[in-house]
Every structure is written in C-alpha cells, then in structure tokens.
Amino acid sequence: MPWQFDIPEATVQRLSTYLTILRRLEGQGMPTVASSDIAHLANVNAAQVRKDLSYFGDFGRRGLGYRVPELREHLQRILGLSEGRNVIVIGAGNLGSALVGYPGFEPRGFHVVGIFDSDPAKSGSKLYGHEIFPMDRLAELVPRIGAEIAIIAVPGPAAQSVANDLVAVGIACILNLAPVHVNIPAGVACRRVDMTGQLEVLSFCLSSFSSAPEGEQVQ
C-alpha cells in the first residue's frame, strides 16, 4: 500500500471515520468540537485523534477544540475528496449491480462513471442509467472517462485476471471485493473488503474456541 511518508495506515482509516462524524456534527450545527468528543463517537482514544490530525497540521485551538466546518474541509482535502473521485465497477453481477445502485457513494464524493463486464451478452444493456461496457474497451474508455479507482466485483477466480487488466490500463487504485488476495505490482494501491471473512470472525466469537474454559477442544 504505497504512500511514502510515515503515516500509519490505521490513521488514514480513522481520518475517514472522523470525516463522517464531522459531517454529521456540521449538519447538526455544532460550531466546535473537542478531540475527546470525536474520540467518543469514533470509539478511540482522544490522544489518538489529536495525534492522527497532527500528522497533517495544527488544526485545533487550545482551550477550544476544532472548528467543525474547518476541520471537515481539511479532512476532505487530506483524503483527496475535495473534487470527488471517478470510480468504475468491474462485474455487473449481483454485487456489481448493488454497488452501482448504492446511494451511499455519491454523497461522499464517489461517482460511478463506468461498468464493465466480461459477458458480451450484458454489453450495451443499462444498469441504473449506466451502460455496461465489455472488458476489451477498458483501455479505450478508462482515460476518456477519467477513471481513478476501480472496484473488482467479480467472482474470486476471475479477480486476479481483472486486476491485471486494470493495472495494464493504468489504474493505480483498486478496491477488491473478491474473497482472494490479488498480486499487484508496487506502486498500485489495492485494498480488500471481505464481508464473508468478517462473518467468519463473528462465527469465531460464537465458537467454543472463543469462550470455552481452558484446555478444552484443543487437541
């Protein structure tokens, strides 16, 4: 996951959480907020909030806290969201369709600007007003529509091949929803969201291993 300076990945993830919180506070008309308030809403330590923010500047005023709209704007800029981001979705199956119709992306600045599917039968048909393109038009269309981020929403076995295609046409940021790790060259950022994997962690919480008294079960 390539960024050059000494900023923990966990910090960047929390920044995204803080941004969501600040948007809500701003909507409620709150003028300022203390690190301890943000911390409470994000379920982290207050010093953590301050340290996270201090990587990027001195945004607070001592004795007062942070001005909500100001900090919200800073976070947006830090995360590169000031002008929104163009996203393409690969895979127009069940998952891909849901993504394209998901109303949560636009308000947070992500615009779906293209859908691709390897199935020629799907080409030309529309999904929530977006045309589905065949995979072999990727190289032609990615620069034209200004795609910056690609979401892989294909079945596991196809994910690596799709990732290769994306890298080949110059995509540098990939969100992988398939339940497999894909290899990508250095310089390309790839993150994976594995819902089923999270369900498996929850299943572990239910299993005897997470609660059974000492020594039982382990052979």
Partner DNA sequence: CAGTGTGAAGCGCTTCACAGCT
Partner DNA sequence: AGCTGTGAAGCGCTTCACACTG
Within residues 120-179, the interface with its own copies by CB under 8 A covers: 148-149, 151, 155-156, 172-175, 177, 179
Minimum gap (Å) between residue 208 Cβ and DNA: 20
H helices of 60-207, in order, are 68-78, 94-101, 138-145, 156-168, 195-206
Contact 129, 96 (CB under 8 A): no
| Residue 51 binding its own copies, by CB under 8 A | no
**Which one among 6, 29, 62, 211 touches its own copies, defined by CB under 8 A?**
211
Q: Specify the residue for token string 């907020």.
A: 33
The residues in 12-41 that bind DNA, with binding defined as CB under 7 A, are: 33-36
With contacts defined by CB under 7 A, name the span among 18-26, 55-63, 141-149, 201-209 that binds DNA.
55-63
Determine the Cα–Cα distance for residues 75 and 69; give it in Å rounded to an integer.
Answer: 10
36 binds, among its own copies, DNA, none (CB under 5 to 8 A by kind): DNA
Nearer to DNA, 43 or 211 (CB): 43
61 binds, among its own copies, DNA, none (CB under 5 to 8 A by kind): DNA
